[in-house]
Amino acid sequence: MPKLNVKPKLNVKKNDQVLVLAGKNRGARGRVMRVFAGDGKALVEHVNMMKRHTRPNPQKGIAGGILEREAPIQISNLMVICPECGAPSRLGRKRVDDGPGQRVCKKCGATFS
Ligand SMILES: [Zn+2]
């Protein structure tokens, strides 16, 4: 089998507002902080928090204890909230001339980058 080197088309971008569709945070909304394109995952602010136990390290100024951090969540479990109509929407893609692809809200038809 030839190795397919196709990047999945991700509709989620950094700073998008998204709705979580599955998992323990189902129904939560948050801002995308980071997208891991290779893994198809994203970090969403205040969603999928994990407790991390940290050992104190005075030389590095780390206090130690239990820190809460976001853990990556599958992008397929996220839905982008349209900045125009505010609804969680499926997105299409539109290419205007030679410009970068625009994303299109399938509910209200608004385009955004
Ligand atoms: Zn919309």
C-alpha–C-alpha distance, residues 17 and 59, integer Å: 38
pTM of the model: 0.79
Ramachandran assignment for 99, one of left (phi > 0), alpha (psi -120 to 50 degrees), beta (any other): beta
Q: Give the C-alpha separation, 51 to 70, whole Å.
A: 9
Question: What pLDDT score does 3 carry?
Answer: 61
Tokens read off for 101: 């692809």
| CA 89 / ligand 1 centre spacing (Å) | 7
Distance 81 CA to ligand 1 centre (A): 8
In tens digits, what is the pLDDT along the chain, a chain of 113 residues? 566 665 556 789 999 999 999 988 999 999 999 999 999 999 999 999 999 898 888 898 888 889 899 999 999 999 999 999 999 988 888 877 777 778 999 999 998 87
The whole-number pLDDT of residue 4 equals 61
CA distance 113 to 97: 14
Residue ranges of the alpha helices (H) in the chain? none
